[in-house]
Amino acid sequence: MEKYNLYDTLFEAIAVVDKNAKILYSNHFFSTLFKASPRVIKKLDTIFELFDLHSPFPKDLFDKAVKEGGNFVSEEMEVLSTEGNTSSHVVIKVTTLSDGNFLISFNDISIEKKLYDKYRVQLEELKKTHTQILQADKLATIGELSAGISHEISNPLTIAAGSMELLTDLLDEEQEDSENLIQGCIDDIIESHNRINSIILNMKSFLHSQAEEDEREYCDLESVIIDSIKFVTPSYNENNVLLKSTFEEKDLVGLVNKVKIEQVMVNLLSNALDALVDSKTKNPEVQVFVRKDRESNLLEIRVSDNGPGIPEDAREDIFNAFYTTKDIGEGTGLGLAIASKIIEVHQGTLHAEDSKDGASFLIQLPFIEILSYAQNEMIQRARDVQDESTLKVMVLDNEVQVLNILNKICADEGIVFMGSVNGNDALKILDDISVDLIITDYFMPQMDGGEFSSKVREKNIKCPILYLSSASNQDVFLRDKDKYGISGMILKPFTKEEVIKGIYGTLGIDKEK
Amino acid sequence: MSATLKLETQILDNKVEVKVIGQIDEDASFEKILSIKQEVYIFDLEEINLINSCGVREWINFLEKLPSTSSITYRNVPQVVVEQINMVQGFVREGAQIESFYAPYYNEQTDQVVKILINVNDVKDGKAPQKDQDGTTLEFDAIEAQYFNFIKQQG
């Protein structure tokens, strides 16, 4: 069968058979795949004999090729060598040749299959390890802060113990004004108990379960940062390090995972404290400064200290896992690597800044309007429902809880949600992103719903607007209805159905269809 | 390093003999050999039972890291490796020598295939040397032009 000799040059196992499946020709790789010498192959009545009973040749494909002609491809299957000690994962293709015979080729995908299986296993292991590393870092941080925490707990405990001692004496002595003193002691004990409870709650919150850590919601960043500061305050007090925080404005809302952002803040604050204590800096001080950079639409959290700073050559390395400047046993070298990863997942950045007066770390997070829009769009894409008809709704409300509820309702409906707490920020974003509907709260501190709607119309944005307010404010709706083209009103408190009806009804969409 | 690959080394004078045992696959690591700096490397491949295309890649990468002035010899090369050598350029580095290898022979009397160690120098004009077993002349059980292709490669 010299006419088939060209197949000798191919890197694929190939055999040519007649309509009775008798092998007329086979190349070198065919012999190698089945570990069958040309002598063995020559003796076979059909190619089927090379196959194991448990994984037989797909005869139906061959029969089809004989009957109808054309090309047919099998599913992935195992073939055993004739020696029985090795197996290969292959895809078989049957091709009808012009001379009436059939070319059978074997695409050996054993390596791909093996690597794919191995990759899946290793990916799972990596995920598990990542979770363990996150938890290990938290435990390490707790360990490092435990001295300060125990000191902080011992203070109220001392007060409570002293108060109880005094109570015992008072009850024994039965003095005239004892009632006031007893009440004072009880108040002190309750206050001490509350302080201890608050410290324990902070610790529990920090060591939050992993399952809830992937959820992001609208949060008041000021309270997230204050909670982080409270958590490290005992250690700062113990080492006489001043910790100041400045929030340039109100309504610093983020679409974040509260627990994870707390982890980042605690890490940065702990690092700053360690650097100041180790360097014995005079008048040690750490500052947290939070502001909105409206030019770049970024929310900035800066943590800076007046310590020795970070050497320039180490500035890149500090974000690498296992890099640490601390002594063995004092740091895991994972804190900043994890912090950086967490901020990255929030579509933000964390980097060390050039600073002559100590170290400074800057966290930059996109404004919630952009972040929520991007996140929602990604979710819809992942669900494969993102198309021209996907609805985009902007909601403006200064209460984060309302944003969280409406976000959830929209997510369930497959609607892209863009939340905002600030009218000016929302207006700015509307310059770049178009939406199908705007829902706005009416009473808001900086700009009310009416003013916001008027500015939306000034921008020549014609999409429908719904007011979100209590029934007692219907008069503002009636007043603005024609003035700003307000389509309707969703009454607070609202149900999921009312919101959905409000959205679809305003846009004239029959949800059932 | 792969749990299924073992490297046994023996250093004598300016020469290192490496016995490669087990599987050469994507997990194969030859760092142990790279840490040894010698002029002559002899690889005994007799106990290799599997080599896949990822393993071949690892092997070629390893060879590139050996000093270019060093001498390399392969001996007792099993059939699975001969098949790979015939398939992939670079498995035997330029200038390296294959001293001996296994080839399949068929004994018609016993209806058995036996793997016989033959010396490269015994292959003349691409023809398999004649081998006997218990008075029976054995039949070479592969296509000579393809099986001995690697001999041409090493010049």
- Among partner residues B26, B54, B143, which is closest to A28 by beta-carbon distance? B143
Q: Is the pLDDT of residue A138 over 80?
A: no
Res. A499: pLDDT tops 60: yes
Q: Is the pLDDT of residue B59 over 70?
A: yes
Tell me how close the Cα of B72 comes to any Cα of chain A, in angstroms: 27
The Cβ of residue A221 has, within 10 Å, a number of other Cβ atoms equal to: 23
The overall average pLDDT reported for chain A is 83
Mean pLDDT in residue range A295-316 = 85
Best B51, B52, B112 member to test A by mutation, with max A CBs in 10 Å, is B52
The CATH architecture to which A370-507 belongs is 3-Layer(aba) Sandwich (3.40)
Using an 8 Å Cβ cutoff, are B99 and B106 in contact? no
Residue A511's pLDDT band, with cuts at 50, 70 and 90, is: low
Q: A111 to chain B: which residues are within 8 Å by CB?
A: 26, 52-54
Closest CA to A245 of A264, A271, A227, A220: A227
pLDDT of residue B101: 96
Look at the block and give the residue holding tokens 């009632």. Answer: A179
Closest CA of chain A from B13, distance in Å:
40
Q: Return the residue of B nearest to A31 by Cα.
A: B142
Name residues whose C-beta falls within 8 Å of residue B88's C-beta, 6 or more positions apart in sequence: B53, B56, B60
Please tell me the distance from the alpha carbon of residue B113 to that of residue B111, in angstroms, as a whole number.
7
CA distance A301 to B13: 65
Q: Nearest CB to A11: which of B52, B87, B106?
A: B87
The CATH superfamily label for domain A2-108 reads PAS domain (3.30.450.20)
pLDDT of residue A512: 61
Tokens describing residue B80: 């699975």
Which long-range CB contacts under 8 A does A320-327 form with residues at least 24 apart? Answer: A326/A274
CB B146 to CB A39 under 8 A?
Answer: no
Query: From the CB of residue B20, how many other CB atoms can be counted at a distance below 10 Å?
Result: 24
Q: Which residues in chain B are closer than 8 Å to A31, comparing Cβ atoms?
A: 142-143
Q: Higher-confidence residue: A406 or A158?
A: A406
Q: Please, which residues bridge with residue A78 across strands?
A: A89
pLDDT of residue A104: 95
pLDDT in tens, A391-450: 889 999 988 888 889 988 888 888 888 888 888 888 888 887 888 999 999 888 788 899
Q: B53: which chain A residues are within 8 Å (Cβ-Cβ)? A: 111
**Lowest mean pLDDT segment, chosen from A218-227, A322-331, B81-90:** A322-331
| CA distance readout (Å), A348 to A261, A300, B121 | 12, 10, 67
Q: What is the DSSP letter of A386?
A: -
For residue A328, the model assigns a pLDDT of 46
For residues A208-218, average pLDDT: 62
Tokens found for residue A402: 């309302």
Least confident of A56-65, A128-137, A453-462, B72-81: A128-137
What mean pLDDT value characterizes chain B?
A: 89
Please determine, for residue A376, whether its predicted confidence score (pLDDT) is greater than 70.
Answer: no
Instruction: Name the minimum distance, in Å, from the CA of B115 to any CA of chain A.
Output: 13
Say whether pLDDT at A211 is over 50.
Answer: no
pLDDT (tens digit per residue) in A268-285: 998 899 889 888 888 999
How does residue B146 score in pLDDT terms, banded at 50, 70 and 90? Answer: confident
Does B114 reach chain A within 8 Å, measured CB to CB?
Answer: no
- The full DSSP string for A417-486 is EEEES-HHHHHHHHTT---SEEEEES--SSS-HHHHHHHHHHTT--S-EEEEEEGGGHHHHHHHIIIIIE
The token duo for B71 is: 């001498």
- Rounded to a whole number, what is the distance in angstroms from the first to the last CA of chain A? 64
The string of pLDDT tens digits covering residues A167-177 is: 887 777 766 67
Q: Where are the domains of chain A?
A: 2-108, 126-366, 370-507
Out of A31, A39, A111, name the one closest to residue B53 (CB): A111
Which of B23, B24, B102, B141 is most worth mutating to test chain A (most A CB atoms within 10 A of its CB)? B141
Q: Of A94-103, A311-320, A323-332, B128-137, where does mean pLDDT reach its minimum?
A: A323-332
A340-369 residue pLDDT tens: 888 888 889 998 887 678 889 999 998 877
Question: Stretch A366-374: mean pLDDT, rounded?
Answer: 77
CA B142 to chain A, closest CA, distance in angstroms equals: 6
Whole-model pTM: value is 0.52
CATH of domain A126-366: 3.30.565.10
Q: Show the domains of chain B with their CATH numbers.
A: 5-104+144-153 (3.30.750.24)
CB within 8 Å: A37 and B141: yes
User: What residues of B are in contact with residue A39 (Cβ under 8 Å)?
Assistant: 106, 139, 141
- Interface membership of B54 toward A (CB under 8 Å): yes
Q: Which has the minimum average pLDDT: A228-237, B6-15, B23-32?
A: A228-237
Q: Is the peptide bond before A493 cis (omega within 30 degrees of 0)?
A: yes
Q: Which of A8, A32, A37 sits opposite B83 (nearest CB)?
A: A32
Name the β-bridge partners of A14.
A105
Which pLDDT score, from 0 to 100, does residue A385 have? 47
A114 vs B contacts (CB less than 8 Å): 26, 52
**CB within 8 Å: A39 and B106:** yes
